[in-house]
Structure 1
Amino acid sequence: MAQQSAFGRWIVVITAVSAAIMELIDTSIVNVGLNDIAGNLGATIEDVSWVVTSYAIANVIVIPMTSFLQRYFGRKNYYIASIILFTLASYGCGFASDLWTLVFFRFLQGVGGGALLSTSQGLMYDAFPPSQRATASALFGMGIVLGPTLGPTLGGYIIDNYHWSWMFYINVPIGIIAVLLSLTFIEKKPDEIGINRKAIHIDQLGILFLALGIGSLQYVLERGEADDWFDDSAIRWLSAVAAFTIPAFLWWELRGTKEPVVDLRVMKNRNLLVGSILVVIVGYGLFTSVLLYPLFAQRIVGLTATQTGKLLIPGGLVTLPMFAITGRMLAKGVSPRLIVALGYVAFGSFCFIMSTYNMDASNGDFIFALIIRGIGLAFVNVPLINQSVSTLEPRQLPTGIAIVNMMRQIGGAFGVAITNTYVTQRTAVHRGDLVANLQPGDPTLVERLNMMSQGLAAKGINALDAVSGAYKNLDLIISKQALMVSYLDTFRLAGLFFVVSFPLLFLLKSKKMDAATAKAVADAAH
């Protein structure tokens, strides 16, 4: 396929990266607005969390099927239809007047969003000659990192200044422009013209097992902590469904059908298997940091959502050129394994640095740590994805890349589940330890309570209420301290995941993609 003009090439870049960022932003943008949505729609926090869960379930089901869906409908048609679905669903989310209408449109948004992430990189690869495809990977990598990072920032700004519905309405003009640009500048590949859909086998049982298995697993991971895990009947039932359908899916795709919807035989490739495990760790680290940093900054240090978002800007400004540097390093033949190792060290360092902070942490402390994180993500994402599929045969690349994308999303789901559970458990442990150290006759404790009582009395509160208020304030101080230490423990745990998985890097075969393989990646499921 002929290469596009420089102008058309950069239009495709802008369209593809914007679509990928838009999809990834929507995985996390609503997290900061759940309280406002619940209050406006008259729903509980437990129920409104379905706004997050429904999107994640749809996303993780569609991503592994991307290769099949592109082959069946044609990549350009599937991509444009997905943007249209995502845009219409975004409008429906903003327009929703009750919770379950919002949840329904969020599910549709997740269905459309799965293709935006999984197809964008292939479109960018096609727009560049082989010698410049490392640059295309770097540009796409920016979207992977910036999306989850910008989501809470943008959501916080909207919540602080506008109605929550604008978290969804902002997608509408972007989606309309993306559709028009895609219709004009994205070219169809030769095999997309005159597709004979009757000759393409639809693995209906595989799709059913995939949807039930991965969808149930995602639900359990998303809702487990909030619903007390196996004390909840829905968690028990869906865990049983996942325990049956995921092995059934694996057996059916490997043994039961000759034309699987996801060709799992590619997992026999060592690079893809090892790379998928490492991608889970990276997804875990990325989503954990995206969840924990805003909580720490706002609940412990006392920053607003807007202030928390502004502290991400310096890290983002450093990260963007680092992606370009990563692309140049890959193009010049620097070992991807070496680059990933440097990124692993940087991201692990970020986790351990954050585990040393306390409620006196300054803006500069956060900026420093977030810059380290940005450098780590720039060094990890692109080389790791490329290296994971570098030893696959061209025909295996669509499935290989779809699996890598799915594993990153599942890693993020595991990260959120582990983080929520671990924070809850460690908070209870630390609170118990702190309370156990409070002795009724301790002079320091008595002095502290007297000072708080006197301070409240000075504000006109009667003596009895002042004493009661002092004890309540002491309880709040203990709770905040316990929560802070639990956050530090969780950052430390994330760092340990990087340390423990680091030796797996040496199992990756270091191979630079040749032009033919790079072109095949362009035609793959991304």
Structure 2
Amino acid sequence: MASYPTGFNRAIIVATAISAAIMELIDTTIVNVALNEMAGALGATIEDIAWVVTSYAIANVIIIPMTSFLAEYFGRKNYYLTSIIIFTIASYFCGQATSLWELVVWRFVQGVGGGALLSTSQSIIFDAFPPEKRGIASGIFAMGIILGPTFGPVLGGVIVENYHWSNIFLVNIPVGILAAILTILFIAKKEGEGTRKHLITIDYLGIILLMVGVGSLQFVLEKGESEDWFDSRLITSLSLLAAVGMIGFIWRELTTSHPVVDLRVMGKGTLGVTTIFSFVAGIGLFTAMFVYPVMVQRINGYTPTMTGLSLLWPTLIGVFMMPIVGRRLSAGASPLPFIITGICLMIAFGFYGGTFNADASQWQFFPAHMLRVLGISLLQLPLTNQAVAGLTPKEYPNAIAINNMIRQLGGAFGVALANNFVAIRYAQHRSDLVSNLYPGNPLLTERLNAMGGATMRAYRMLELAVDKQAYMLSYLDTFRIVGVFFLLILPLVVMLRQKKKKSAEEIAAAAAAMAEAH
């Protein structure tokens, strides 16, 4: 009969796992409000500073689907402890970085460590409770994964505004050290953990092809616009490399007997279709969280703290929504109504979010953020639930890992898309605005007179105003394009199978799989 920790030991295990998970989750959002300050301090453009976000996401894309394999190969406790140490050390070097690309490299390393923290933390908490109390475990973890991203922007704003931007990474160090010590002392190894290494074959070729494919593709997406796309030999070469890497990875995983990511499960159930929705959900989540802080700080004059607070209040809605959705799904409710409603809310967010101006206040943005948070809250768990529809419990962990990988890949794609789209739309909007500045235009004459007459200073002020408005319109277009993506996938809902009500055993197996691979 299995024994479970109780009292103080259980509390310490839960606290350790939650602190590591929250540390990783905060780090995914705390950076967004500091992008302007980092760009200025490191002499980088906003377009280039986006690599700080995407390098972390790329590392997550690579490591998340391999988490179950790595935990089995090295042993869960060893892998978890190593990941905490890697994340903590990388956080220190992120804080010490003196150039953009040094920071990008260490953010990638940080993402390698962070990729394991969320899923492994959840499985550790799950195993600390007997089966009849695992609903409590899920609730505890759900609160952690909601509160982490909620307070990340606020904490980042306070740090950036009152201290140096590097402290957003250095705050991880004491938490990481404490989590590592507690892991050594209190997290027990599972029976047989790490003893089957000699029986496991490592798919080195699959890992290499995944890294080459994803890394090359992301570089092309990020730098394609600035390098004139296929007029650049570098972009052309990396595009070919990305195609070879991704096609080779798919072929390898479908033909080898020991794949690092078993893609065969994509042809079963509705996982293949669900990944389309997860990819777009990743675009919506990451793009909005990247564009909004940059926009309101560059255009609306928000401080980092104001930016964080404007994200805090609507995000708290998710604290109440996620448990409700989780309980309904656990009771056997179909995920489709949640998915359809979530998509519609994200469409509304995209088009409503594209209607603001440079004078909008925090509370004027509130309804748009509320739509976004409600939309994402209604999509996250139902898409995970739908990903395993029609699969056997044994196939759940791999299916959920693939679904999470695709969502992260969508996020990385979304940030790259936003950068390129803003650059293209800025040029168009600036051209349109300048075309109205012709001699004899009464509005132009009135504006120049208000600036003190047709002087060089007035023309310079006018140029800055045009630039500001062109950028504002470009950022708003980015929100609209997010709405378009969700609008395009709405008809595909008919391809999602109505989920049959599962037995208690299947529900428990699904919960366990989510603990291993969420």
TM-score (norm 1): 0.88
C-alpha separation between the residues in 1 aligned to 2:142 and 2:493? Answer: 20
Q: Summarize the alignment of residues 504-515 of structure 1 with structure 2, pairs less than 5 Å apart.
A: 504-509=492-497, 510-515=499-504
Question: Which residue in the other structure is 1:438 paired with?
Answer: 437
Amino acid in the other structure paired with 1:155: G
Q: Give the drift of 1:340.
A: 2.4
* Alignment counterpart, residue 473 of structure 1, candidates 461, 469, 472: 461
Q: Give the drift of 1:3.
A: 4.9
Q: Summarize the alignment of residues 24-173 of structure 1 with structure 2, pairs less than 5 Å apart.
A: 24-33=25-34, 36-37=37-38, 51-96=52-97, 102-128=103-129, 140=141, 147=148, 150-173=151-174
Q: Give the drift of 1:278.
A: 0.7
Amino acid in the other structure paired with 1:442: N
C-alpha separation between the residues in 1 aligned to 2:336 and 2:152? Answer: 30
1:32, 1:152 within 8 Å by CA — same for their partners in 2?
yes
SS at match of 1:476: helix
Amino acid in the other structure paired with 2:457: G
RMSD after superposition? 2.9
C-alpha separation between the residues in 2 aligned to 1:42 and 1:492? Answer: 30
1:222, 1:413 within 8 Å by CA — same for their partners in 2?
no
1:134, 1:328 within 8 Å by CA — same for their partners in 2?
no
Are the structure 2 counterparts of residues 138 and 373 from structure 1 closer, same or farther at C-alpha, using a change threshold of 3 Å?
A: farther
Are the structure 2 counterparts of residues 360 and 97 from structure 1 closer, same or farther at C-alpha, using a change threshold of 3 Å?
A: closer
Question: Which residue in the other structure is 1:248 paired with?
Answer: 248
Q: Give the drift of 1:483.
A: 1.9
Q: Give the drift of 1:361.
A: 1.9
Structure 2 spans left out of the alignment, 5+ residues: none
Are the structure 2 counterparts of residues 9 and 217 from structure 1 closer, same or farther at C-alpha, using a change threshold of 3 Å?
A: farther
Question: Which residue in the other structure is 2:297 paired with?
Answer: 298
Are the structure 2 counterparts of residues 351 and 134 from structure 1 closer, same or farther at C-alpha, using a change threshold of 3 Å?
A: farther
Question: Which residue in the other structure is 1:358 paired with?
Answer: 357
The number of equivalent residue pairs is 513
Question: Which residue in the other structure is 1:462 paired with?
Answer: none
Q: Give the drift of 1:140.
A: 4.8
CA deviations 1:100-149 (Å, max 9, x no partner) are 65444333212111111332333344345556656655655565565556
C-alpha separation between the residues in 1 aligned to 2:276 and 2:243? Answer: 20
User: Percent of counterpart pairs with the same letter?
Assistant: 54
1:280, 1:411 within 8 Å by CA — same for their partners in 2?
yes
1:135, 1:324 within 8 Å by CA — same for their partners in 2?
no
Q: Give the drift of 1:233.
A: 4.3
CA deviations 1:51-82 (Å, max 9, x no partner) are 44543332222122112111211222211221
Q: Give the drift of 1:260.
A: 1.0
Structure 1 spans left out of the alignment, 5+ residues: 455-465
Question: Which residue in the other structure is 2:338 paired with?
Answer: 339
The answer to whether structure 1 residue 522 and structure 2 residue 517 are counterparts is no
C-alpha separation between the residues in 1 aligned to 2:148 and 2:355? Answer: 27
C-alpha separation between the residues in 2 aligned to 1:390 and 1:273? Answer: 11
C-alpha separation between the residues in 2 aligned to 1:515 and 1:340? Answer: 23
The answer to whether structure 1 residue 285 and structure 2 residue 275 are counterparts is no
Question: Which residue in the other structure is 2:399 paired with?
Answer: 400
SS at match of 1:113: helix
Are the structure 2 counterparts of residues 498 and 137 from structure 1 closer, same or farther at C-alpha, using a change threshold of 3 Å?
A: farther
Are the structure 2 counterparts of residues 308 and 471 from structure 1 closer, same or farther at C-alpha, using a change threshold of 3 Å?
A: same
Are the structure 2 counterparts of residues 299 and 99 from structure 1 closer, same or farther at C-alpha, using a change threshold of 3 Å?
A: closer
The answer to whether structure 1 residue 425 and structure 2 residue 413 are counterparts is no
Question: Which residue in the other structure is 2:213 paired with?
Answer: 213
Q: Give the drift of 1:495.
A: 1.1
Q: Give the drift of 1:416.
A: 0.7
C-alpha separation between the residues in 2 aligned to 1:337 and 1:423? Answer: 33
Between 51-60 and 69-78, report the one with greater CA deviation: 51-60
Question: Which residue in the other structure is 1:197 paired with?
Answer: 197
Q: Give the drift of 1:95.
A: 3.8
Question: Which residue in the other structure is 1:458 paired with?
Answer: none
C-alpha separation between the residues in 2 aligned to 1:489 and 1:53? Answer: 21
CA deviations 1:404-457 (Å, max 9, x no partner) are 111111110111111111122122212212222333112232222122125xxx
Q: Summarize the alignment of residues 440-459 of structure 1 with structure 2, pairs less than 5 Å apart.
A: 440-454=439-453
Are the structure 2 counterparts of residues 133 and 328 from structure 1 closer, same or farther at C-alpha, using a change threshold of 3 Å?
A: same
CA deviations 1:285-323 (Å, max 9, x no partner) are 011110122133222322111111111221132221222
* Alignment counterpart, residue 495 of structure 1, candidates 449, 461, 483: 483
CA deviations 1:123-181 (Å, max 9, x no partner) are 34434555665665565556556555654443332221112221111111211232334
Amino acid in the other structure paired with 1:84: I
Are the structure 2 counterparts of residues 420 and 513 from structure 1 closer, same or farther at C-alpha, using a change threshold of 3 Å?
A: farther
Are the structure 2 counterparts of residues 288 and 53 from structure 1 closer, same or farther at C-alpha, using a change threshold of 3 Å?
A: closer
C-alpha separation between the residues in 1 aligned to 2:319 and 2:373? Answer: 9
Amino acid in the other structure paired with 1:110: G
2:224, 2:235 within 8 Å by CA — same for their partners in 1?
yes
Amino acid in the other structure paired with 1:249: F
C-alpha separation between the residues in 2 aligned to 1:139 and 1:349? Answer: 31
2:213, 2:241 within 8 Å by CA — same for their partners in 1?
yes
TM-score (norm 2): 0.89
Q: Give the drift of 1:243.
A: 0.9
C-alpha separation between the residues in 2 aligned to 1:225 and 1:18? Answer: 40
